[in-house]
Amino acid sequence: MSSRTLHLDLGRAGYEGVLRLQRELHARRCEATIPDAVITVEHDPVFTIGRSGSLDHLLVERERLDAEGIGLCEVERGGDITYHGPGQLVVYPIVDLRQRGRDVKRFITDLEETAIRTLRVFGIDGGRRPGYPGVWVAAPPAALAPGTYKIASIGVYVKQWVTRHGLALNVAVNPEHFAMIRPCGLDVAAVSTNDLLVRAVSLGRVRDAFLAEMAGVFGWAFETASPEEIG
């Protein structure tokens, strides 16, 4: 039987406000006053740096970020520096792992599996890379330069066995912004779903496919909610 899980779609929103909402929902989930919840959002441009991150992997001066309206935020998730911005589906699951075997690795694997299945819906072959959480394009098309391409990033934070932060899947992001960093400290190139398709898909369509696959992987039945309804 599928378990009831809240879904909050925030449309496009700034990073710091959504981070506050994550923390509020995390506290509520720790108190067991709400069920598991999933936030989906498309962020304004921002670089976030995780616990193992370094500003050395930011390849431009801070003044350029200010000039282009790109934020910079240090956060408690795992991982290094990454980018969020328009054309990217960001998914924040607020999940009580005490009800899922207290298995953080399995949770990350399930996030990867959801992204891989979502890409498969659109005819894209995504895969894993041992030791590096996220999803990679197994066989980039000839139109792209040879190299290693990452299409989805994962970074989570767990406190009291409840998760926050999550996954970002590139749909149609600005490649010039990604070129400003070494994503996760690696010499890799970012690629978007629409770079790999003859006919572009909307972020909304990818979001809906992702949620459908996520429901199957995690055994959830989504119930639409808003921050106001929960608060």
Residue 142 has pLDDT above 70, yes or no: no
List the catalytic residue out of 89, 91, 115, 184.
184
User: Can you list the positions of beta strands (E) in 114-228?
Assistant: 126-129, 132-137, 149-159, 162-170, 189-190, 220-224
- Where in the sequence is the domain holding 161, given as residue range(s)? 3-230
- Annotation marks residue 184 as catalytic: yes
pLDDT of residue 186: 64
Q: What is the pLDDT of residues 168-220, one digit of tens each?
A: 999 999 989 988 988 766 667 788 999 899 899 999 999 999 999 999 999 99
Residue 47 has pLDDT above 70, yes or no: yes
Give 188's DSSP letter.
-
CATH assignment of the domain containing 171: 3.30.930.10
CA–CA separation, 56 and 15 (whole Å): 22
Residue 143 has pLDDT above 60, yes or no: no
pLDDT of residue 187: 67
pLDDT of residue 145: 63
Residue 54 has pLDDT above 90, yes or no: no
Q: Give the count of domains, the chain.
A: 1
CA–CA separation, 162 and 76 (whole Å): 14
The pTM (predicted TM-score) of the whole model is 0.94
Confidence of residue 79 (pLDDT cuts 50, 70, 90): confident
Least confident of 39-43, 83-87, 125-129, 160-164: 125-129
Contact 203/42 with Cβ under 8 angstroms?
Answer: yes
3-class secondary structure, 7: strand
CA–CA separation, 117 and 156 (whole Å): 20
pLDDT of residue 51: 84
Reference 111, options 38, 205, 194, 196; nearest CA is 38
